Amino acid sequence: MAAHPQPTSAMQVVLGAIQLPATFRVGFGPILAAIVLVLIVLATATAYLYVPHDPMDMNALERLKGPSETFWLGTDPYGRDLFSRVMIGGQVSLLIGIGAAIVSVFIGLMIGLVSGFFRTADAIIMRIMDALMAIPSILLAIALVALNGPSIWSVIFAITIPEIPRVVRLVRSVVLSAREEPYVEAAIALGSSMSKILWQHLMPNTLAPIIVQGTYICASAILTEAILSFLGAGVSTEIPTWGNIMAEGRMFFQIKPELIFWPGLMLSLCILSINLLGDTARDLLDPRLKKREA
Amino acid sequence: MLFRNRDFSDRPTALRITGLSVATAGSRTNTAILSSIDVTIRDGETVCLVGESGSGKSVTSLAVMGLLPKGSLEVTGGRIELEGQDLLALDAGAMREMRARRISMIFQEPMTALNPVMTVGAQIEEVLDSHTRLPARDKKQRVIDIMEQVHLPDVERIYGSYPHQLSGGQRQRIMIAMALILEPKLLIADEPTTALDVTTQNQVLKLISELQERHGTAVLFITHDMGVVAEIADTVYVMRHGEIVEHAPVETLLRAPVETYTRELLTAVPSLIPRAARENREDAPALEVKNLTKIYDTRGMFRKGRQTRAAEKVNFAIRRGRTLGIVGESGSGKSTVARCIMRLIDPTDGEIRVGDADIAKLGRAALQPHRKQIQIVFQDPFRSLNPRWTIGDSLIEGLLNFGQSRQEAMKQAAELIELVGLPRDALKRYPHQFSGGQRQRIAIARAIAMRPDILVADEAVSALDVSVQAQVLKLLDDLQERLGIAILFITHDLRVAAQICDEVVVMQHGHIVEHDTAHNVLSRPSHEYTRALIDAAPGRSWDFANFRELATN
């Protein structure tokens, strides 16, 4: 029939998976969260265009200055401009958050699909995942950064590894229940190949839950990055990140609390809005999980 | 006595529903779900509400219980009186008290209605605890007493059992015990036997009428099954689209229905008289199953493995253009056989010959070319189509797997969709836009798109309303006529088997106990299990479609 020109593309599968309820109302909270998040992302992404100082530029004469016209939020113990450092630092923090979310969701999806569908692979994979989950994630991340050196990519890697088992378990559980559906058995009877069944029948079921899981991973990765930096095990200290700035500010916390306040505020706002949006996405994508209204 | 012919006109009224209307709430357009219905039930009377899905029978029962889902359904008019007291005027607390003491309810699926982590004895006791003050010894005595009344065996043991340790019939007895322990005036039974096997269903129906007579309870019995109505009803109310179409004493209604809809409903009930025998063809069988065996090993790490023989030494053959039925209760192994033949599970032993090839032992790749020859239609029309795919995409899935171009396949799909009686534009729509019967037609179209030699129908009409069931059976018959496919029809319903099968195989505990022509199995059963099945079929002595007793030959 001519009405069906294009074959089922990946995009159609993705769009088909996200079935929004006919009527959905989003409250004030999620909209505010979205606005805050967009502002933070835009402000940090374009930071090099407008920040008044080079965030690495030290100036011994201007140490620990208060807010002024040249230094909007004051300076740090090395005389670097705090405002510039916070805005530029956000780039690395957000990059790590989004990077870790995408990588762990993608790898977790692959492993989870295989594990949910093939029984023999499942036994082996899940034992490895159990082992990974048995190690405290911060400890594992510190060890991985220590092994690979303190670059952004090694931090993303270090945060991703401990998150993967959680995604795998989520995807696996969805696949395990979806593979019992008669339409999957019908596809087997129709002679569909394993890859077709995996990608076109099973994978779309996992999209909604992993999008939600992805937002949580993003928030927790930003937080983990801050913790790693704070412990001195994160991105190398000359690159500003919210965690780094706070780690350096901790010595002078009593004289100059802004050093921790401003990066901390950005971090909290960012994580709060991501989590709020994650909750909203969950309610929209899977109304069954929605908290029951009293 | 064929029907209950009891007169209740001098008994006091237990429940009187007058002008009850229920509509959807919350949205701007309030759709009427029930429009002004009247029902009267007297003490000791059984009133059956019958109707197809969506007719509003369950909503009626929920309204009486005061359990309409808040925010989505609300009563918009009318009265519900229990012994003269208006239930709609009661507040939530008073209604809660009313629900336990004077109205109670049993549901279709006892497993979900029972708490899985409490012993059933404790659950029955809980009902007493929340509404009476009795010393512990009396309480236990009362629970044991009601458990004996519902004829549970070995009451002391069952008292301490958990729901999963009991059979479906036993669980439903527990539910009935819980419902009746406070001696309510009114018992509402919402499809209480639909999830049970026929033999168990028969026992539960007998139990309900026995207890009703002993306690003088009024029963509002909701069912879609005319056979059950014939067994248990005093008075029948036929519902459709939220209205009462007709009500009459059971015999009057079954013998001389007034309204067209009632006649249609009764005519659609499949008869237990087997179809006329078709001429026997002597060509080679399309499907031949030899000594098919499926054994499940439950192996523990430390204990010795236990074996469950789901199917053992099953033999049968089907020729082209013929239909073979496999009949049995749950756990008889009939679905195991179907799934083995489809190679959705691997048989432990035996041969499955499709044409000339034995497919029982083939690996995934070697099996692929044979998949085309044998297709399946599942029970649940709501789950057998991928909800994210258009109907067109679902129909051509198999064709694409066997190397057809998309355009060609779509052309064929358009022909198929018309063949099963749906419009062409259905191809571009999604499954949720279709009713259960339509979806089952689509599933059938998807199966026959492959031009299979054999079609396996695994309880393919069991989830459908009787009128739709009749249409789908007719469709299968027409397709068989036209395409000459062999059909393996798996069902628990003897009536359906009688309508479509040439031969019937009766299975019990994984074994074939009887295999003969449909006519012989139904009219001259040789095995006692077959006889038990036929005897348990509700309304077996009534010919619904012709409004009279079944002619005995």
pLDDT tens digit string along A57-95? 888 787 878 888 888 888 888 888 899 999 999 999 999
The DSSP bridge partners found for residue B42 are B13
Query: Do the chains contact at A181 and B383, CB–CB below 8 Å?
Result: yes
C-alpha B19/C-alpha B13 separation (Å) is 16
> In terms of C-beta density within 10 A (0-12 exposed, 13-18 middle, 19 or more buried), how is residue A43 classed?
middle
A chain contacts of residue B383, beta-carbon cutoff 8 Å = 181-183
A chain contacts of residue B416, beta-carbon cutoff 8 Å = none
By C-alpha distance, the chain A residue nearest B390 is A16
> In terms of C-beta density within 10 A (0-12 exposed, 13-18 middle, 19 or more buried), how is residue A176 classed?
middle
Q: What is the ipTM of this complex?
A: 0.83
- Is the separation of the CB atoms in B222 and B189 below 8 Å? yes
Average pLDDT, chain A: 84
Q: How far is A169 from chain B (nearest CA, A)?
A: 23
Residue A182: which of B371, B383, B450 has the nearest Cβ? B383
Query: pLDDT (tens digit, 9 = 90+) per residue, A38-59?
Result: 999 999 999 888 888 888 888 8
C-alpha B429/C-alpha B366 separation (Å) is 35
Listed residue (B340, B326, B373, B365) closest to B501, CA to CA: B326
Q: How many CB pairs under 8 A join A and B?
A: 73
Query: Do the chains contact at B368 and A201, CB–CB below 8 Å?
Result: no
Q: Which amino acid is at A121?
A: A
Q: Does A191 touch chain B (CB under 8 A)?
A: yes
Q: How far is B167 from chain A (nearest CA, A)?
A: 24
Task: Return the number of other C-beta atoms located less than 10 Å from residue B141's C-beta.
Answer: 12
B154: left (phi over 0), alpha (psi -120 to 50) or beta: left
The gap from C-alpha A135 to its chain's centroid, in whole angstroms, comes to 20
B120, B121, B123, B129: CA torsion to nearest 10: 180
Query: Do the chains contact at B401 and A191, CB–CB below 8 Å?
Result: yes
Residues 6+ away with beta carbon under 8 Å from A206:
A109, A112, A113, A170, A171, A174, A175
Structure tokens at B282: 């002597």
Checking if the pLDDT of B52 tops 90, the result is no
A23-32, B50-59, B540-549: which has the minimum mean pLDDT?
A: A23-32
Rg for chain A (alpha carbons), in Å? 23
Task: Return the number of other C-beta atoms located less than 10 Å from residue A153's C-beta.
Answer: 12
- pLDDT confidence of residue A237: 80
Q: How far is A22 from chain B (nearest CA, A)?
A: 12
Query: Do the chains contact at B410 and A189, CB–CB below 8 Å?
Result: no
Checking if the pLDDT of B391 tops 60, the result is yes
Residue A189: which of B364, B375, B428 has the nearest Cβ? B375
Checking if the pLDDT of A4 tops 50, the result is no
Query: Do the chains contact at A191 and B372, CB–CB below 8 Å?
Result: yes
Residue A190: which of B406, B410, B450 has the nearest Cβ? B450
- pLDDT confidence of residue B122: 92
Average pLDDT, chain B: 89
Phi and psi at residue B190, to the nearest 5°: -100, 100
A76 three-class SS: coil
Beta strand B454-458 pairing with B374-377: parallel
B142, B146, B151, B156: CA torsion to nearest 10: -30
More confident residue, B204 or B109: B204
Reported as half-sphere exposure (CB side, CA atoms, 13 A), residue B232 has a value of 36
Query: Do the chains contact at A190 and B398, CB–CB below 8 Å?
Result: yes
Q: How far is A132 from chain B (nearest CA, A)?
A: 25
Query: pLDDT (tens digit, 9 = 90+) per residue, B465-494?
Result: 888 898 999 999 999 999 999 999 999 988
- pLDDT confidence of residue A24: 55
**Count of residues for chain A?**
294
Residues 6+ away with beta carbon under 8 Å from A211:
A281, A285
C-alpha A133/C-alpha A68 separation (Å) is 48
- Best residue in B24, B335, B397, B406 to probe A by mutation, most A CBs within 10 Å? B397
- Eight-state DSSP code of residue B320: T
Q: Does B406 touch chain A (CB under 8 A)?
A: yes
- Best residue in B386, B407, B428, B448 to probe A by mutation, most A CBs within 10 Å? B386
Query: Do the chains contact at B371 and A17, CB–CB below 8 Å?
Result: no
- pLDDT confidence of residue A13: 46
Q: How far is A16 from chain B (nearest CA, A)?
A: 5
Averaged pLDDT, B31-41 = 90
- pLDDT confidence of residue B401: 93
| Helix ranges, B420-527 (H) | 436-448, 466-483, 494-500, 518-523
Q: Does B276 touch chain A (CB under 8 A)?
A: no
Query: Do the chains contact at A182 and B384, CB–CB below 8 Å?
Result: yes
C-alpha B11/C-alpha B217 separation (Å) is 12
- Eight-state DSSP code of residue B202: H
Checking if the pLDDT of A8 tops 70, the result is no
A13-27, A224-238, B58-72, B399-413: which has the minimum mean pLDDT?
A: A13-27
Q: Does A185 touch chain B (CB under 8 A)?
A: yes
Q: How far is A187 from chain B (nearest CA, A)?
A: 7
More confident residue, B52 or B283: B52
Structure tokens at B87: 């239930």
Query: Do the chains contact at B384 and A1, CB–CB below 8 Å?
Result: no
CB contacts under 8 A, B 337-376 vs A, are 342, 344, 364, 368, 371-372, 374-376
- pLDDT confidence of residue B488: 96
Query: Do the chains contact at A190 and B443, CB–CB below 8 Å?
Result: no
Query: Position of tokens 């429940």?
Result: B15
Straight-line distance from the first to the last Cα atom of chain B, in angstroms, rounded to the nearest whole number: 19
Percent pLDDT > 70 in chain B is 97
Checking if the pLDDT of A14 tops 70, the result is no
Beta strand B218-223 pairing with B46-50: parallel
Query: Do the chains contact at B386 and A8, CB–CB below 8 Å?
Result: no
Query: Do the chains contact at A19 and B388, CB–CB below 8 Å?
Result: yes
Averaged pLDDT, B328-357 = 91
Checking if the pLDDT of B301 tops 50, the result is yes
Residue B427: which of A1, A185, A196 has the nearest Cβ? A1
Structure tokens at B146: 């009601």
Query: Do the chains contact at A185 and B378, CB–CB below 8 Å?
Result: yes
pLDDT band at B550 (very low <50, low <70, confident <90, very high): confident
Q: Which helix (H) or strand (E) holds B455?
A: strand B454-458
Q: C-alpha distances in angstroms, B333 versus A134, B111, B112, B490, B514?
A: 42, 22, 24, 10, 14
Checking if the pLDDT of A107 tops 70, the result is yes
The pTM is what?
Answer: 0.83
Checking if the pLDDT of A11 tops 80, the result is no
Query: Do the chains contact at A191 and B398, CB–CB below 8 Å?
Result: yes
- Is the separation of the CB atoms in B276 and B265 below 8 Å? no
Handedness of CA B281, B285, B290, B295 (dihedral sign): negative
By C-alpha distance, the chain B residue nearest A203 is B388
Query: Do the chains contact at A1 and B411, CB–CB below 8 Å?
Result: yes
Q: How far is A98 from chain B (nearest CA, A)?
A: 28
Percent pLDDT > 90 in chain B is 52
Query: Do the chains contact at A183 and B384, CB–CB below 8 Å?
Result: yes
Query: Do the chains contact at B384 and A186, CB–CB below 8 Å?
Result: yes
Structure tokens at B194: 């639909």
- pLDDT confidence of residue A101: 95
pLDDT band at B27 (very low <50, low <70, confident <90, very high): low
Q: Does B446 touch chain A (CB under 8 A)?
A: yes
Checking if the pLDDT of A104 tops 60, the result is yes
Listed residue (B66, B72, B69, B73) closest to B17, CA to CA: B66
pLDDT band at A3 (very low <50, low <70, confident <90, very high): very low
- Is the separation of the CB atoms in B22 and B55 below 8 Å? no
Query: pLDDT (tens digit, 9 = 90+) per residue, A138-164?
Result: 888 899 888 988 888 999 999 999 999
B551 three-class SS: coil
Percent pLDDT > 90 in chain A is 44
Beta strand B85-86 pairing with B73-82: antiparallel
